[in-house]
Amino acid sequence: MSSHLFIILPIVIPFTVAVVTLLLRKAPQIQQWVNLTGMLALMAVSVNLLWLVHVDGIQATTFGGWAAPFGITFVADHLAAIMVLSGALMGLAISLYGMAEMDKERIAFGYYPFMNMLMAGVIGAYMTGDLFNLYVWFEVLLIASFVLMALGNTREQLTADIKYVAINLVSSLLFLGGVGLIYGITGSLNMAEISLLLAEVESPALITTIAMLFIISFGIKSAIFPLYFWLPASYHTPPPTIMALFAGLLTKVGVYALIRVFTLFFTYDVGYTHTLLLWIAGFTMVSGVLGAAIQTDFRRILSFHIVSQIGYMIMGLALFTPVALVGAIFYIVHNQLAKTNLFLISGLANRLEGTFTLKKLGGLYAVYPGLAVLFVISSFALAGFPPLTGFWGKLVLAIGALETQEYIILAVALLVGMMTMFSMAKIWMYGFMPGTESNRANATSDDHTLLGMGNGASGTPYVTSPVMMYIPIVLVALLIVAASVFFGPVYTITEQAALELLDPSLYIDAVLNP
């Protein structure tokens, strides 16, 4: 199969599934299986894409009948291929989970078409080599996410969706303004060519000013300090399937965009731009973990920890060394696995007990020991207990901080790691250990059927047994363990991604001199 086909198929597959499931809107159960088939195909193509990039180097193709920099360019380097594969993994796990959790009403109103549109937008953002098309793909995924967040039509969801839409419209406007300014001074939208042309601009202050627009725009999308307030106000409102989808994909696209432009474009005033990013990383870690510490709702704790964990990823970018960038890339993948799984576990706990409130969940360990083990694996990974993925990610970032003698950010990262342990321990103590306020004795099976659907649910799923919800949770937990045990090979692949980022000529040559 042509390498060009492997580059475009990860976008074509979810788009095709979106169209097919829309045509099958009167056959919801068939939609579920079409979606699952599409996710399996996406997984297979993503694995092949990463292998192709690792063996043959950066792959690029141009559409529209024009050669680069005039045609529409798609590029797969190690970073893009890693992100596509991890996104496909999350899509597959969430699709399996959704077959047992997603209610009939949301499926009837377009859950599967919009889920796949979101996947297409996310992957398109990873693969595009054109700055304006990056804006377009962001709009595709954002429009899909607006609809997904509002599905269910509860007051809480609509309130959260209004906030989410408003702040992302501001972000998109700033992004579009930055694109316009770059086009104005370079005359190009091709990201490889922009990297070359910015070196010829005689006003570095102008480039730094444009960089600030991108920090604000992508900072809103990735939920960095102080622009994160929309996330904990909205992510807890949809059902767990959609919460996990957002947690695993949306903010990571913003982080990916920051990594891409601040290694390819904005490297002319690293002392200013990346030092600013380092301070932002520290404040993002601290503000997120402090917000989580005062919460008593399973979902809200996890939502604030999305913010906190974004800080570690930005830290790796800000340190701007090979080791630190390895840490940032690995941390993205680790966080997708651990955070997605924790949201899936919260949804299963709600399905079993009818609540997300920790003190009402008390005693899960005694009745559902398997669920408790899965929570321990995922929460320990998130907190950074050795030898799980979070430990390796934080260790690599710590080495990067020591190499650059950034001891303050290292201390902050270690402190936040300990506070993350506190939050996970709180969930364990109140939610899994026996408690006097457990609602188990008072809840009837009818209560569980009604309440187990998650926040804002208005019906029941087609697969009513919660047993199927365990399958993706177990699979993701096994992936966490596998990535921990085989950290060496994973490090090798992420190291290659970091080296490509620090040597933009490899990206530029692949696009402009195929």
| pLDDT score at 203 | 82
Residue 474, both tokens: 């177990």
Peptide bond into 322 cis (omega under 30): no
For 461, the 3-state DSSP assignment is: strand
Predicted confidence pLDDT, tens digits, the chain (514 residues) = 566 788 999 999 999 999 999 999 888 889 999 999 999 999 999 999 999 999 999 999 888 777 778 888 999 999 999 999 999 999 999 999 998 888 888 888 889 999 999 999 999 999 999 999 999 999 999 999 989 988 877 777 788 778 888 888 899 999 999 999 999 999 999 999 999 999 888 888 889 999 999 999 999 999 899 888 888 878 778 888 999 999 889 889 999 999 999 999 998 889 999 999 999 999 999 999 999 988 888 989 999 999 999 999 999 999 999 999 999 999 999 999 999 999 999 999 988 888 888 888 878 888 889 999 999 999 999 999 999 999 999 999 999 999 999 999 999 999 999 999 998 999 988 888 875 444 444 443 333 333 333 343 445 565 556 778 899 999 999 999 999 999 999 999 999 999 999 999 999 999 988 7
d(CA 67, CA 512): 8
| pLDDT score at 436 | 43
| pLDDT score at 455 | 42
Residue 381, both tokens: 């990974």
For 74, the 3-state DSSP assignment is: strand
CA distances, 23 to each of 306, 316, 489 (Å): 35, 44, 42
d(CA 420, CA 234): 21
d(CA 176, CA 254): 15
| pLDDT score at 269 | 87
DSSP state of 236: T
d(CA 204, CA 238): 44
Comparing CA positions, the residue from 511, 372, 389 lying closest to residue 429 is: 372
Comparing CA positions, the residue from 418, 266, 410 lying closest to residue 324 is: 410
d(CA 337, CA 351): 21
**E strand or H helix that includes residue 4:** helix 3-23
| pLDDT score at 444 | 37
| pLDDT score at 451 | 33
Q: Residue 375 region, left (φ>0) first, then alpha (ψ -120 to 50), else beta?
A: alpha
| pLDDT score at 117 | 96
